[in-house]
Amino acid sequence: MCKIQNSKSSLLHRAYITPSKFNKMDNSLSHLCWHGCSETGTLIHLMWQCPAVKSFWKEVISRLSSILIVKIPLCPLICLLGSKVDNIQSTRIQCIIALAFLSVKCHRSGVEC
Ligand SMILES: [Zn+2]
């Protein structure tokens, strides 16, 4: 299994060790988000709800929409799980979008694709 598939599998099976989980294992460890927003660092918060992460995905969506001249909705299914964009009929554009999100996720996690 390649690293990105392993990462997706870990996400789907909630295998990521988050601050919230670390805190349950050891009370001396902080339960707060790693991005410094002072919210509890749950999986959904770290992957989508954190303001720092949300602004990152907004920027990615904005740039990709601008380059491809399409409207891509800000949606975790598209950004995190690679779902197709409903309003885009072109298979080529769908593939470019999927590859772009894969590239962004690899770059963020330090995985070489
Ligand atoms: Zn946060």
Question: pLDDT tens digit string along 47-89?
Answer: 899 999 999 999 999 999 999 999 999 999 998 888 899 988 8
Residue 26, phi then psi, degrees to nearest 5: -145, 110
Q: Cα of 93 to ligand 1 centre, how many Å?
A: 32
pTM of the model: 0.73
Q: Cα of 32 to ligand 1 centre, how many Å?
A: 8
Give pLDDT, residue 12: 59
Q: Cα of 69 to ligand 1 centre, how many Å?
A: 31
- The Cα-based distances of 105 to 2, 7, 64, 108 in angstroms read 14, 10, 14, 5
Give pLDDT, residue 8: 60
